[in-house]
Amino acid sequence: MSFHIFKYTFKQLIKDRMALFWMLCFPLILATLFNLAFSNLMSTESFEQVKIALSTDHDLPEDLESAMKESNIFNLSYTTETEAKELLANREISGFIKNTDELELIIYDSGLNQSIAKVFLDNHVQISTTIYNIIDGNPQLIEMGFLENLSFTESYTETVPVSESMNMIVVYYFALLAMTCLFSSIAGCYAISLVQANQSAVAARVNVAPTKKLKAFLSMISATICFQFISAMIAITYITQILKVDFGDRILHIVVLCLFGCFTGTMFGALFGLLVKLKSEVKEMLLSNICMVLCFLSGLMVLQMKYIIQEKAPIIAYINPANLITDGLYALYYYDTFHRYFLNLTLLGSMGIAFCAIIILVLRRQKYASI
Amino acid sequence: MQVFKAFRKIVMKKFISVFIIYTALFIGLSIFFTSSGGTQVEDAFELSEVRVSVINEDNTALANGLENYINGIARPVELENDEESMKDALFFRQTEFIVTIPNGFQESFHSSQNQSITTMSVPDSANSEYAKTLIDRYLNTAKLYATAFPEISFDEIHEKVLADISTEVHVSFVDRIATSHSSELSTYFNFLSYILIAMFISMVGRIMLIFNNKEIKMRNYCAPISINYYNYQLIFGNLSLAFIVWLIFVAFAFVINTGSLNETGSYLYIVNSFVLAILCLSISFLVATFATKNSIDPIGNCISLGLSFLGGSFVPQAFLSDTLQTVGTFNPIFWYVKVNDTIGEITSISRSTLEPIIYGILVQLAFAVAFLAVALVVIKQRRYAHQ
Amino acid sequence: MIVKIDNLVKRYGDLIALDHLNIEIKEGEIFGLLGPNGSGKTTAINCILSLLKFDKGNIEIFGREMKPTAYPIKQDIGIVMQNVAVFEELTVYENIDYFCGLYIKDKKKRKELVQQAIEFVALKDFVKFYPKKLSGGLLRRLNIACGIAHKPKLIILDEPTVAVDPQSRNNILEGIKRLNEEGATIIYTSHYMEEIEQLCSRLAILDKGKVIATGTKQEVKGMISLGEKIVIETFNLKEEHIEKIREIPNVIDVELKENILTIKQKSGASNLVNITSFIANHDISYGKIYSELPTLNDVFLEITGKELRD
């Protein structure tokens, strides 16, 4: 390690406005956009009482009313039919029930709330049919007191607690963090171009100086990782503190994962820069596109993508560093155990180390066939 | 036509790749969006299909009966019986409700200490309430029969229960005319706004950067053609590029959603998207006046993602926060999406239904004119500054 | 011997870039590598610096074999590239400090050296500037400062004056002379023969990867038959006169172009007198008359049959 090179590489990154934008500002901007766009998205999922109006034009069966009240599923109101229609048109209620000749549910369009109401009513109507059928088949049952012991509302289900952390939207932020970490690959690619004499004039200078190439490279890489890590930390702070997105309380683990992510991302970029023989702008463009594709596959744009890949092509999920980061963060957030987190961390780390090993091997070749 | 020729050459050489990338991205994503797309509105009532996974460990007549019943009424999702895949599927909402029927469930059904069916779901979700209602309904009825006729088999009970459950309450709709298909088209065209704006800034913006290059511009100004003629050719070039891109994507819309071309709103979508193309063109004109070769990508990304996110291209406008809906008035894309949504709900063409659409389109055009005017002023200012 | 290149061969596929190159550079001299574009100057430099693989040959610097890991050798080499090799994101001062820091670890000493380098290239007023804001000449000077700040014993300058205005060019050439006076050995490549003539004590002329002439300026010029060129402005010269001039002793070649008569002669005692008396005897009216010593271009022309700057 040469602190001198480290210092100047770091300085360069800070002064490079493009790097600053892509590595630091872009994730923050995206996070803000996510926050604005998705803030109302999850609220539609949680259960709220179904708003049902009961038409007062005709009497309703009494037991229905009491059953509806008891069930605690409905928010009932009593209105005339005309009023109810108006409420319905304004979508203030999900539907209303009237009882002209038979029970009828009037709705505006199909939906979950409407389905709940319908099934409830179906159930209510059906139970009387069932009892009629039973007594019809075995009339003695009435004398045996069968009707007194009837229960229609017994619950047969028992909920297994899954996790309170069920907010799917956080995966967007996780993928975003993965992107932030992987953007370090561009800087890694740049670092390579600064030590490979056949890639830039500056590198030729570094090569003729009495500083070991590997040492120069490692110092640059450390600065890159460091810089990227800091921007990841800023992104985390911004998302959790300012946007108030809940990442759970295992912050230290998140930090470690991000550090690994930056390391592997940088190494990936460096390896790419080392092996691909193209103009530097083309390389950087390619690299940022690859990063975006990797992030896409881990759910950055379309969240379900992550699940689909994991189910349909688990191998891709396991070799995609973006997914390893996202999945590690997800495991921390959602699971109680650390098993999956450490699996991801190990895979990510080994990938980075493998990249690093290849880089060191290639870098040892110190002369070039052509410049 | 020298300028136009150069324009065409540059487009062919440098930007065809940008075009292909965006097209591929767009086609991929739009297929994804439409396939996972929104619920269709139909004339007949349809029970909501909750995605339910049943894991049947019991495999008895009762358990199988329940499983069949649930699978018939909900959308079954196959899952492996291990905790991790169950939990993952639940988190990503691939399934919304997981039912595990434990071994020995039928055995204990008669006793008062019956084994419970364990369920996993997103806490407090409406879907899980709904699914629980369904399960309890089946089992309560089955229990009735089982208590009343302890001697009959569970297969028979299943038959009886199914017969009873088919009793339905009459459901009717409040007077209105239902439409179809338009929600898919609406999603497609909403998403188009992101693609067009990103693509135009990336293509037109860069081309304009080349032509705006100070040295090239000076050379052009020195040539014996009038500045106006020069500018007209540039504008003509950009317009034809925009037109071609727009045409391809509009044609593609109706290739994906075959047969939707002759529906009421379809022509309105086309008109609206054409206005959008002009709007995006003028935005990219403006961007090209202040962006540089290095900054055009970040700026383009921010503007395209920002306007589309805040305008509701990706997420339905109804889900946007209230502040955003107010701020959206200043966002041309918001107006575009709003017009699309209005078209989606349109049932007949009449003066009253067309009015909000025309208004929205006019607002977009006003935005386009405004951006273009600012761009022209900036260009002019710059020219004087150089002299 | 500071640098010794022995039978260096470098091929790019079928193309032989360096063909058995032999060069020796002595301590304290300014050694010029002259040759047209594509003659192999930069390739030779890159081989000396161990940046390029070569197919055959030996390179010794300071009497030791040059290798990519020969750090003690590298410590004493300064290099100024053909292309400006500086960081866009760092200021003038930071750039010099960065590259100097690759050689000098001691902070205090480095600070002094960087200051000296800045004064040397007269960039004092621009230390806080970013390279983007510097003019072409200033940028070249920064490029040089980055290469020489650590006071190397051997400085290699690869066409440092390409695309530089005449004033900056003189400034740079003066600087190189001063560096040499301070004790550094200098290798200077260029395709401008004027620069090499003005600057170098010894030189090698390269063409198609071969050294076609090497030695001191006088030695190189002595290698060709041309000793003197006499140029006369004439008005009534006839064909028969030209034929007669050819018969004058020491004359190699006579050429008449638009009233300008150029006579090439071997070196000899009374060349000019012979010509002037011939002109006087034959009643040839003439305007200006002057004698030129051969230039490096003449050397190149005679050996290769083409001009240096094609």
Pick the closest to residue A306 from A131, A171, A130 (CA basis).
Answer: A171
Same domain, B61 and B35: no
Highest mean pLDDT among A162-166, A189-193, B81-85, B300-304: A189-193
pLDDT above 60: residue B263? yes
Pick the closest to residue A172 from A344, A352, A322 (CA basis).
Answer: A322
Same domain, B238 and B135: no
Mean pLDDT for C11-26 is 89
Task: For residue range C94-107, list pLDDT tens digits in order.
Answer: 899 988 888 888 88
pLDDT at B279: 92
pLDDT at C223: 84
Token pair recorded at residue A138: 């075995």
Same domain, B205 and B297: yes
Q: In chain B, which residue's Cα lies nearest the Cα of A23?
A: B298
Radius of gyration of chain B (CA): 29
Q: How far apart are the first and last CA of chain C?
A: 34
pLDDT above 80: residue A136? no
Tell me if A115 and B130 make a contact (CB, 8 A cut-off): yes
Domain extent for B300 = 2-40+178-386
Pick the closest to residue A307 from A297, A315, A320, A321 (CA basis).
Answer: A297
Would you give the DSSP letter of residue B171? E
Tell me if C102 and A15 make a contact (CB, 8 A cut-off): no
Mean pLDDT for A259-284 is 89
Matching residue, tokens 């390893």: A324
Name the residue ranges covered by the structural domains of chain A. 3-41+169-363, 48-143
Same domain, C191 and C240: no
| Percent of residues, chain C, with pLDDT higher than 70 | 99
pLDDT at B21: 75
Phi, psi angle pair for A195, to nearest 5°:
-120, -15
Q: How far apart are CA C141 and CA C134, in angstroms?
A: 10
Query: How is chain C classified by DSSP, letter by letter?
Result: --EEEEEEEEEETTEEEEEEEEEEE-TT-EEEEE--TTSSHHHHHHHHTT-B--SEEEEEETTEE--TT-HHHHHTEEEE-SS----TTS-HHHHHHHHHHTT---HHHHHHHHHHHHHHTT-GGGTT--GGGS-HHHHHHHHHHHHHTT--SEEEEESTTTT--HHHHHHHHHHHHHHHHTT-EEEEEES-HHHHHHH-SEEEEEETTEEEEEEEHHHHHHTSSEEEEEEEEESS--HHHHHHHHTSTTEEEEEEETTEEEEEEE--SSHHHHHHHHHHHTT--EEEEEEEPPPHHHHHHHHHSS-S--
CATH dotted code for A48-143: 3.40.190
Same domain, C135 and C268: no
Same domain, C38 and C132: yes
pLDDT at C180: 92
Token pair recorded at residue C69: 């890991």
Pick the closest to residue A235 from A148, A173, A163, A290 (CA basis).
Answer: A173
Task: Write the residue in C68, C84, C94 that is nearest to A8 by C-beta.
Answer: C94
The confidence band for B387, taking pLDDT boundaries of 50, 70 and 90, is: very low
Q: Is residue B326 part of a domain?
A: yes
The confidence band for A247, taking pLDDT boundaries of 50, 70 and 90, is: confident
pLDDT above 70: residue B347? no
Q: In chain A, which residue's Cα lies nearest the Cα of B48?
A: A112
**Half-sphere exposure in the Cβ direction for A16 (13 Å, CA):** 19
Mean pLDDT for A63-85 is 79
Q: Is residue B323 part of a domain?
A: yes
pLDDT at B37: 46
Task: Write the residue in A114, A118, A156 that is nearest to B116 by C-beta.
Answer: A156
Contact A371, C51 (CB under 8 A): yes
pLDDT at A233: 94
Contact A166, B122 (CB under 8 A): yes
Pick the closest to residue B99 from B122, B123, B132, B69 (CA basis).
Answer: B132
Neighbours of C271 (CB within 10 A): 21
**Half-sphere exposure in the Cβ direction for C142 (13 Å, CA):** 31
CA distance A196 to chain C (A): 10
Mean pLDDT for C58-83 is 87
Q: Count up the domains in chain C and report the number.
A: 2
User: Of B122, B141, B165, which residue constitutes the final position of a domain?
Assistant: B165
Task: For residue range B276-330, list pLDDT tens digits in order.
Answer: 999 999 998 888 888 877 778 778 888 888 888 888 887 777 777 777 777 778 8
Task: For residue range A202-230, list pLDDT tens digits in order.
Answer: 888 888 888 888 888 899 999 999 999 99
One-letter-per-residue 3-state SS of chain A? CCHHHHHHHHHHHHHCHHHHHHHHHHHHHHHHHHHHHHCCCHHHCECCCEEEEEECCCCCCHHHHHHHHHHCCEEEEEECHHHHHHHHHCCCCCEEEEECCCEEEEECCCCHHHHHHHHHHHHHHHHHHHHHHHHHHCCHHHHCCCCCCCCCCCCCEEECCCCCCCCCCHHHHHHHHHHHHHCHHHHHHHHHHCCCCCCCHHHHHHHHCCCCHHHHHHHHHHHHHHHHHHHHHHHHHHHHHHCCCCCCCCHHHHHHHHHHHHHHHHHHHHHHHHHCCCCHHHHHHHHHHHHHHHHHHCCCCCCHHHHHHHHHCHHHHHHCHHHHHHHHHHHHHHCCCCHHHHHHHHHHHHHHHHHHHHHHHHHCCCCECCC
Highest mean pLDDT among A150-154, A311-315, B144-148, C57-61: C57-61
Contact A201, A281 (CB under 8 A): no
Least confident segment among B335-349, C7-21, C213-227 = B335-349
Task: For residue range B236-254, list pLDDT tens digits in order.
Answer: 888 888 898 899 888 888 7
Chains that touch B (3 or more CB pairs under 8 A): A
pLDDT at B383: 65
For chains A and C, count residue pairs whose Cβ atoms are closer than 8 Å. Answer: 93
Rounded to the nearest integer, the mean pLDDT of chain A is 83
Contact B272, B357 (CB under 8 A): yes
Question: What is the arrangement of strands in the sheet containing B117-121, beginning at the earlier edge strand?
Answer: A157-159, B117-121, B97-101, B51-56, B75-76
Same domain, C122 and C185: yes
Same domain, B20 and B63: no
Higher pLDDT, B124 or A299: A299
CA distance A29 to chain B (A): 8
Pairing verdict, β B97-101 and B117-121: antiparallel
Same domain, C103 and C65: yes
With beta carbons under 8 A apart, name residues in chain A contacting C49.
204, 207-208
Q: Is residue C299 part of a domain?
A: no
Q: How far apart are CA B121 and CA B139, in angstroms?
A: 19
Task: Write the residue in B91, B122, B167 that is nearest to A122 by C-beta.
Answer: B167
Same domain, B69 and B206: no
Residues of A with CB under 8 A from a CB of C: 4-5, 8, 11-13, 15-16, 197, 200-202, 204-213, 216, 366-371
**Half-sphere exposure in the Cβ direction for A351 (13 Å, CA):** 23
pTM: 0.77
One-letter-per-residue 3-state SS of C31-79? EEEECCCCCCHHHHHHHHCCCECCCEEEEEECCEECCCCCHHHHHCEEE
Same domain, C189 and C251: no
CA distance C198 to chain A (A): 28
CA-CA distances (angstroms) from residue C172 to A278, B29, B220, C35, C109?
35, 59, 37, 20, 25
Task: For residue range B62-102, list pLDDT tens digits in order.
Answer: 888 888 888 888 888 888 888 888 888 888 888 888 888 88
Tell me if A367 and C50 make a contact (CB, 8 A cut-off): yes
Q: Is residue B46 part of a domain?
A: no
Phi, psi angle pair for A10, to nearest 5°:
-65, -45
CA-CA distances (angstroms) from residue A146 to A137, A364, B148, B240, C275?
13, 89, 8, 82, 147
pLDDT above 50: residue B274? yes
Across the strands, what pairs with C207?
A: C210
Angle subtended by helix axes C107-120 and C136-148, to nearest 10:
140
Rounded to the nearest integer, the mean pLDDT of chain B is 78
Mean pLDDT for C256-270 is 83
CA distance A327 to chain C (A): 36
Which secondary structure element, helix H or strand E, spans residue B100, and what is its range?
A: strand B97-101
Tell me if A153 and B133 make a contact (CB, 8 A cut-off): no
Task: For residue range A258-267, list pLDDT tens digits in order.
Answer: 999 999 999 9
pLDDT at C287: 83
CATH number, position B122 = 3.40.1710.10
User: Of C221, C254, C285, which residue constitutes the final position of a domain?
Assistant: C221
Rounded to the nearest integer, the mean pLDDT of chain C is 87
Q: In chain B, which residue's Cα lies nearest the Cα of A288?
A: B297
Pick the closest to residue B118 from C70, C133, A336, A157 (CA basis).
Answer: A157
Same domain, C217 and C258: no
Mean pLDDT for A69-77 is 79
User: Of C204, C221, C238, which residue constitutes the final position of a domain?
Assistant: C221
Pairing verdict, β A50-55 and A95-99: parallel
Mean pLDDT for B185-207 is 83
Pairing verdict, β C202-207 and C30-34: parallel
Mean pLDDT for A294-307 is 83
Window 140-159 of B, Cβ < 8 Å to A: 140-141, 143-145, 147-149
Asked if B48 has any chain A CB less than 8 Å from its own CB, the reply is yes
Mean pLDDT for C44-49 is 88
pLDDT above 60: residue A201? yes
CA distance B231 to chain A (A): 31
Same domain, C215 and C260: no
Task: For residue range A36-49, list pLDDT tens digits in order.
Answer: 777 666 666 667 77
Tell me if C75 and A207 make a contact (CB, 8 A cut-off): no
CA distance A267 to chain B (A): 24
With beta carbons under 8 A apart, name residues in chain C contacting A201.
81, 83-85
Mean pLDDT for A274-294 is 83
Same domain, C105 and C119: yes
pLDDT at B43: 47
Q: Is residue B245 part of a domain?
A: yes
Task: Write the residue in B91, B133, B176 that is nearest to A334 by C-beta.
Answer: B91
pLDDT at B41: 41
Query: How is B303-352 classified by DSSP, letter by letter?
Result: HHHHHHHHHTSSS-GGGS-HHHHHHGGG-HHHHHHHHHHHHHH--S--HH
Task: For residue range B106-157, list pLDDT tens digits in order.
Answer: 878 777 666 788 888 887 777 888 888 888 888 888 888 887 777 788 888 8
User: Of C169, C198, C221, which residue constitutes the final position of a domain?
Assistant: C221
Chains that touch A (3 or more CB pairs under 8 A): B, C
The confidence band for B179, taking pLDDT boundaries of 50, 70 and 90, is: very low
pLDDT above 70: residue B15? no
Please report the ipTM that was assigned to this predicted complex.
0.77
CATH number, position C236 = 3.30.70.980
Q: Which of B50, B87, B167 would you mutate first to test chain A, the one with the most A CBs within 10 A?
A: B167
Q: In chain A, which residue's Cα lies nearest the Cα of C66?
A: A208
CATH number, position C114 = 3.40.50.300
Same domain, C170 and C245: no
The confidence band for C85, taking pLDDT boundaries of 50, 70 and 90, is: confident
Same domain, B194 and B122: no
Q: How far apart are the first and last CA of chain B?
A: 27
3-class SS at B122? coil
pLDDT at B40: 41
pLDDT above 60: residue B178? no
Across the strands, what pairs with B74?
A: none
Radius of gyration of chain C (CA): 24
Q: How far apart are CA C23 and CA C202, in angstroms?
A: 11
Domain extent for C119 = 3-221
The confidence band for B39, taking pLDDT boundaries of 50, 70 and 90, is: very low
Same domain, C83 and C150: yes
Matching residue, tokens 């191998």: A315
Neighbours of B263 (CB within 10 A): 17
Q: Count up the domains in chain B and report the number.
A: 2
Mean pLDDT for A319-323 is 92
Same domain, B198 and B343: yes
Same domain, B33 and B151: no
Mean pLDDT for A303-331 is 88
Mean pLDDT for C241-258 is 83
Same domain, C207 and C128: yes
Neighbours of B176 (CB within 10 A): 11
